[in-house]
C-alpha cells in the first residue's frame, strides 16, 4: 500500500511480462526489492486483455514476500488504460501496492489515474490511498513536465526514467536504448538523469533508472549502473534475475561506507550536543550539518540492505 511501500528499497525493480504464466510463477523466487507485472510493452497487443486476469491472479495467489508489488498498465494514449486499471485493481486484492503509469506526458495523466483509483478503492473496499503510483518519464514532453508530474498526486511514490522509449521520442540515431553511445563525448543522458532526479527529490519521491537491454552483458550492465548510482538514484530495472543480483549489490552501501557514515553521525552528535559546536574536525575533514545529511542517506540505505554496524 502507498504508506507501506513509500520508503521501501527499490534497488532492483524486476520487470515480468504479464502474459507469461511461466515468468509470473518464477517471479516471487527472484530476490528483487520491487517487482512489476507488465501489461504494457512486453505484452503483445493480442494478449493484453487476457493478461489482465493472469496478472491479478498472480498478485492474489503467488507467494510474494513483503517486496513492493506493482502492475504496469498501458499508457493513456492507448485504448487499454482504464480497462487495465479497473480490472486489475478490482480483482488483485490488498497485496497490490502500486500501479505504474508509462509514457506520462503531463500531470493531468497522473491526476486521471488517481481519480480512477479513488473510485475503485471505494467500490472494492480498499482503504483510500492504498494504491501508490510510479510514473515513467520516457517522452520529451514528459521530461519537460517532470516537475509537475512528480507533484501531481500524494499517491506518487517513484519517478522512473525509460531510456528506450525516450531515445525513440528524441529521435536519437540509436537502435538500442539505455546503453552507452561511445561516439558521444560524455554521457548523452546526463541532463535527463539530473533533471528527473531533482524533480523526484524535490517532491520526496524515489528515483529509478530504467532497463539496460543488453541482458547478456553483465559487465557492461555493472559498469552502466554506476552512472545513476553515483548521481543518487535509488535503483534500476532488471530484465533478468542475473541483473537483480548485480543491482542489489551496486545500489547498497559497502560495509566500510556504512560504518564510516555511522562514525560521522556519532562525531557530529557529540560535537553539537555535548560540545555545542556546529562544525568539528573528523579525521582530516571538517564535518557539519550537511555531512550529517549525507551520512543519514548511507545509514538508511545500508539498513534497508540489511547491514549492521561493525563492532568498533
Characterize the bridge pairing of strands 68-72 and 12-17. Answer: unpaired
Our finding on whether 162 is near Mg ion (CB under 5 A) is yes
Q: Can you read off the three cell numbers belonging to residue 131?
A: 494504491
- Please enumerate in sequence order all residues whose Cβ is within 8 A of that of 61, keeping only pairs 6 or more positions apart, or say none: none
CB 232, min distance to ligand GLV, A? 20
Burial letters 158-194, b for 16+ CB under 10 A, else e: bbbbbbbbbbebbeeebeebbbeeeeeeeebbeebbe
Stretch that binds ligand GLV, among 109-117, 146-154, 157-165, 186-194 (CB under 6 A): 157-165
- Write out the binding residues for ligand GLV, residues 106-135 only, by CB under 6 A: none
Q: What is the CA radius of gyration of the chain?
A: 20
Stretch that binds ligand GLV, among 146-154, 163-171, 184-192, 271-279 (CB under 6 A): 163-171
Q: H helices within the chain, ranges in order? A: 2-5, 21-26, 48-61, 81-92, 107-124, 140-144, 146-150, 163-170, 190-202, 218-231, 241-250, 255-269, 289-304
Our finding on whether 157 is near Mg ion (CB under 5 A) is no
177 contact choice in Mg ion, ligand GLV, none (CB below 5 to 8 Å, kind-dependent): ligand GLV
Give the number of other Cβ atoms within 10 Å of residue 296's Cβ.
13
Stretch that binds Mg ion, among 47-55, 116-124, 135-143, 240-248 (CB under 5 A): 135-143
Our finding on whether 192 is near ligand GLV (CB under 6 A) is no
Q: H helices within 106-212, ranges in order? A: 107-124, 140-144, 146-150, 163-170, 190-202
- The count of chain residues that interact with Mg ion, using the rule CB under 5 A, is 3
Our finding on whether 178 is near ligand GLV (CB under 6 A) is yes
Our finding on whether 162 is near ligand GLV (CB under 6 A) is yes
Q: Identify the sign of the CA torsion 301, 302, 306, 308.
A: negative
Selected binder of Mg ion within 114, 165, 209, 259 (CB under 5 A):
165
Query: Nearer to ligand GLV by C-beta: 11 or 304?
Result: 11
CB 257, min distance to ligand GLV, A? 29
Q: Identify the sign of the CA torsion 196, 198, 203, 209.
A: positive
178 contact choice in ligand GLV, Mg ion, none (CB below 5 to 8 Å, kind-dependent): ligand GLV
CB 237, min distance to ligand GLV, A? 7
Selected binder of ligand GLV within 33, 84, 97, 165 (CB under 6 A):
165
Stretch that binds Mg ion, among 5-13, 114-122, 165-173, 187-195 (CB under 5 A): 165-173
- The count of chain residues that interact with ligand GLV, using the rule CB under 6 A, is 11
Query: Nearer to ligand GLV by C-beta: 239 or 307?
Result: 239
- Write out the binding residues for Mg ion, residues 15-74 only, by CB under 5 A: none
> Are 19 and 54 within 8 A, CB to CB?
yes
Our finding on whether 211 is near ligand GLV (CB under 6 A) is yes
What is the separation of C-alpha 180 from the centre of its chain, rounded to a whole number of angstroms? 21
Characterize the bridge pairing of strands 34-38 and 12-17. Answer: parallel
> Are 140 and 169 within 8 A, CB to CB?
yes
Query: Nearer to ligand GLV by C-beta: 142 or 302?
Result: 142
CB 210, min distance to ligand GLV, A? 4
Residues 134, 106, 166: CA angle, nearest 5 degrees: 70
Name the residues that contact ligand GLV, by CB under 6 A.
102, 136, 138, 162-165, 177-178, 210-211
Amino acid at each position: 500500500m502507498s504508506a507501506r511501500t513509500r520508503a521501501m528499497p527499490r534497488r532492483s525493480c524486476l520487470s515480468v511480462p504479464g502474459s507469461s504464466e511461466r515468468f509470473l510463477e518464477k517471479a516471487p523466487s527472484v530476490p528483487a526489492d520491487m517487482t512489476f507485472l507488465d501489461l504494457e510493452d512486453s505484452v503483445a497487443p493480442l494478449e493484453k486483455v487476457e493478461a489482465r486476469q493472469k496478472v491479478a491472479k498472480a498478485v492474489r495467489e503467488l507467494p510474494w514476500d513483503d517486496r513492493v508489488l506493482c502492475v504496469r498498465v498501458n499508457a493513456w494514449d492507448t485504448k487499454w488504460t482504464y480497462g487495465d486499471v479497473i480490472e486489475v485493481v478490482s480483482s488483485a486484492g490488498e497485496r497490490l501496492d502500486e500501479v505504474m503509469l508509462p509514457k506520462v506526458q503531463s500531470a493531468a495523466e497522473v491526476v486521471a489515474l488517481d481519480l480512477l483509483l479513488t473510485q475503485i478503492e471505494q467500490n472494492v473496499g480498499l482503504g483510500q490511498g492504498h494504491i501508490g503510483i510510479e510514473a515513467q518519464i520516457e517522452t520529451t514532453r514528459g521530461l519537460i513536465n517532470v516537475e509537475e508530474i512528480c507533484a501531481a498526486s500524494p499517491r506518487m511514490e517513484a519517478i522512473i526514467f525509460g531510456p528506450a522509449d525516450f531515445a525513440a521520442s528524441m529521435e536519437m540515431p540509436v537502435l538500442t536504448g539505455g546503453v552507452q553511445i561511445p561516439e558521444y563525448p560524455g554521457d548523452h543522458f546526463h541532463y535527463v538523469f539530473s533533471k528527473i532526479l531533482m524533480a523526484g527529490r524535490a517532491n520526496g519521491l524515489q528515483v529509478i533508472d530504467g532497463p539496460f537491454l543488453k541482458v547478456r552483458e553483465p559487465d557492461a550492465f555493472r559498469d552502466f549502473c554506476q552512472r545513476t548510482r553515483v548521481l543518487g538514484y535509488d535503483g534500476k530495472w532488471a530484465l533478468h534475475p542475473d541483473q537483480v543480483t548485480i543491482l542489489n549489490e551496486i545500489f547498497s552501501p559497502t560495509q566500510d561506507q556504512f560504518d564510516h557514515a555511522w562514525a560521522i553521525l556519532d562525531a557530529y552528535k557529540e560535537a553539537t550536543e555535548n560540545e555545542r559546536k556546529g562544525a568539528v574536525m573528523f579525521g582530516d575533514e571538517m564535518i557539519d550539518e550537511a555531512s550529517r545529511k549525507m551520512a543519514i542517506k548511507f545509514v538508511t540505505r545500508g539498513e534497508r540492505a540489511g547491514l549492521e554496524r561493525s563492532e568498533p
